[in-house]
Amino acid sequence: MPNAFNFSASPFDCLDPDEQRLVRQHVDVAYFRAGETILELGSAPSHLFVIIKGFVSQLEGDEVLATCGPDDCFDGRGLVAGKVSHRFVAAEEVVAYQLAHQAVNELIASNAAFGALLFSDLGDKLSTLAQRQGRHELNSLTLARVEEAFVRPAPTVEAGLDVLSVVRLFQAERTANVLVRDSTRQPPRLGIFTTTGLQRAVLDGRPLDSLPVGELASFSLVTVRPDDLLGDAMALMLRSRVHRVVVMAGDEVRGILEALDLFSFLGNHSHLITVQIEQARDLAGLEQAAAQINRMISLLYRGGTRVALIAKLVQQLNLRLFERAWSMLAPPDLVANSCLFVMGSEGRGEQLLKTDQDNALVLRDGYLAPANLDALCQRFSEVLSRFGYPECPGGIMLSRPAWRGTVAEFSHRVRDWLMVPDAEKLMHLAIFMDAHAVCGDDRLLAEVQHSVHALSLDNEAALSRFASALDAFGESNSWLGRLFSLGDEARQLNLKKEGIFPLVHGVRSLALAGRLRETSTSARLQALVAQGALSAEMGDELLSSLQVFMGLKLKAGLAEWDKQRPISGAVDLAALSVLERDLLKDSLGVVKRFKAQLRHRFHLDALA
């Protein structure tokens, strides 16, 4: 059969040459007129179809559940189950490959990944993909360049400086080595003095304040270039039996690459940024660390790291970055009598690339805030903007008076948000429900959160109003048509509006109804399943769908970041692979079913 069969499309991209040969031997081409039923509900399918040209609608009654386009395949699940669960109709003239049932069975038996990607549920598909990507992660990281890792500054001293002064420099610079320049030689030579040399200096017996560091320095430097591969730098360290190499661009010293930092880069990039944050002495130092976060995200994502893990690492880095920035700006007394907290996706631990700020400040009741509190809060927002976190268009920042206040004042505000049927207030409450303490006394935030849960108990009217924000962006089924429509505008899909927000807010609403204190969507789902408010199957599907949305949004955001464009959150549907489009359709379908469940639980149709 034709050699034109597209083996680069999922799930056929995981077949080996022998399996591809099997496909060619058992595939044929079929033609269907527009409106013709290809598979009838309840029938026993004899083939797996792979569309070459045209579109096929998957119907339940008169409702279109999904649309398949070129390179999409159907109905793998029907083949495995022995009967078709939906009707498949040619939406227009269709030309498709049809692969015999027996050949499909042989492929499933010989290739587990093929079977999982063909007919498994969303969670199994993602698990299979993670296993495939994980094999490439270490190889991808070792192909990174030395300059992409954390190259530490290299303090340089003259060979005549005494060892005691060098030890003081160790302490002041928080380092364990310095470069030593011997200017008595022509041309001058460069060496290194480390804590190993310090041990030799102590054993030497001479007073440290009169012992020249040049006598104990090693002038056999092991060097690498900034554009050398990290894998080569690692091999060089092992071969030379050293724990650090000097990074040099020609005759210019760029710094020192430590073995610990190199291995941390390969295992966990966040460690390097954490070190930079901890060692920063001022806001400029923190700004340098903040600038590395998007680069870390890009390397981890393109190396195959799971999106959920990246988000968790980003949350921890952001929290520590914000904590140190606030502590540098605010007096200790203010820090001790307040709680700085973040909200929204940052609070849930689901933010990846830097988007707008969502933060606030709650003060202890009776505490006399400093007179310059407003200026401090304004300065904090400005600093975060400088770090790459844009100001919130809606003004949800502690620099606005509405987002700072005492425990009593905040408690009154959130009660008002819950009880008054106003769309803006409902959104404020939704954002606050994800609050996560950054620094200060986290008990102050807990007091405000407790007041919300106490007020919402057994108040179905308030819960229904809160859940009604589910449709804050309007009811839309247009995504289905846009997956295959033409035109640049039609191909842009806002994943937050169409998928992430209804999923997250629906889970948040159930968590409020269930009196749960968890803030992340994954933790809420786990608790809701344990509570019986959600089935285990729905919980797994929602979590898998969230991972799909976050992954696609991150991929699109990184493409914009690479081109130095503002991160819009929109996904270009034309740029999706067949598998990504398949996962997106499955995930949006999960959200659609979830919204129907929420409408019944919170009686939302009665509010319309």
How do beta strands 189-194 and 223-224 pair?
unpaired
Classified as helix, coil or strand, 194 is strand
**Best CATH choice for the domain 146-266 from the list 3.40.50.200, 3.40.50.300, 3.10.580.10, 3.30.530.20:** 3.10.580.10
pLDDT, position 268: 55
The pLDDT-based confidence of 38 (bands split at 50, 70, 90) is very high
Confidence of residue 456 (pLDDT cuts 50, 70, 90): low
Mean pLDDT, to the nearest integer, of 44-58? 90
Residue-range domain boundaries for the chain? 12-119, 146-266, 268-456, 469-607
Cα atoms found within 13 Å of the Cα of residue 581, Cβ hemisphere only: 25
User: Which pLDDT score, from 0 to 100, does residue 138 have?
Assistant: 46
Under a CB-based contact definition with an 8 Å cutoff, are residues 352 and 553 in contact?
A: yes
What is the per-residue pLDDT for 137? 45
Integer angstrom CA distances of residue 226 from 25, 144, 255, 269: 51, 11, 10, 18
CA 506 to chain centre: 21
Give 193's strand partners: 178
Mean pLDDT lowest for which of 392-396, 489-493, 552-556? Answer: 489-493
In whole angstroms, give the CA distance from residue 239 to residue 331: 50
Tell me how far apart the alpha carbons of residues 388 and 376 are, in angstroms, rounded to a whole number. Answer: 19
d(CA 414, CA 376): 24
Contact of 294 with 353, CB cutoff 8 Å:
yes
Q: pLDDT at position 360, please?
A: 97
pLDDT digits (tens, 9 = 90+) for 313-344: 888 889 999 999 999 999 999 999 999 999 99
Residue 486 pLDDT greater than 80, yes or no: no
CATH number of 469-607: 1.20.120
Which of 30-44, 328-342, 406-420 is modeled with the greatest confidence?
328-342
Number of C-beta neighbours around residue 563 at 10 A? 7
CATH number of 12-119: 2.60.120.10
Judged against a pLDDT cut of 80, whether residue 512 lies above it is answered with yes
Q: What contacts 24+ positions apart, CB below 8 Å, involve 266-273? A: 266/138, 266/141, 266/142, 266/230, 266/234, 268/313, 269/296, 269/299, 269/300, 269/313, 270/296, 270/313, 270/316, 270/317, 272/149, 272/150, 272/296, 273/150, 273/317
Q: Which residue has the higher pLDDT, 301 or 285?
A: 285
The tokens for 302 are: 């393109």
Q: Both tokens of residue 31?
A: 């033609």
In whole angstroms, what is the distance from residue 542 CA to residue 562 CA? 30
pLDDT of 539 > 60? The answer is yes
Read off the tokens for 600. Answer: 């019944």
- Residue 600 or residue 148, greater confidence: 600
Rounded-to-integer distance, Cα 511 and Cα 504, Å: 10
5 vs 123: which has the higher pLDDT: 5
Average pLDDT score over the chain: 85
Q: Structure tokens of 369? A: 């805030």
* Residue 169 neighbours by CB distance under 10 Å: 16
Task: Kindly state the average pLDDT of the residues 29-37.
Answer: 93
State the amino acid at position 562 in one-letter form: D
- CATH superfamily entry for domain 268-456: Beta Polymerase, domain 2 (3.30.460.10)
User: How confident is the model over 106-145, as pLDDT tens digits?
Assistant: 888 888 777 766 765 555 555 555 555 544 444 445 557 8
- The encoded tokens of residue 220 equal 């056999």
Report the pLDDT value the prediction gives residue 271, as an integer from 0 to 100. 67
Percent of the chain with pLDDT over 90: 41
277-282, Cβ contacts within 8 angstroms, sequence gap of 24 or more: 277/317, 277/320, 277/321, 277/324, 278/320, 278/324, 279/174, 280/324, 282/328
Q: Of how many residues is the chain composed?
A: 608
| pLDDT for residue 112 | 74
Between CA 242 and CA 178 the distance in angstroms is 15
Task: Please tell me what DSSP assigns to residue 42.
Answer: T
480 pLDDT more than 60: no
Highest mean pLDDT among 19-23, 138-142, 201-205, 404-408 belongs to 404-408
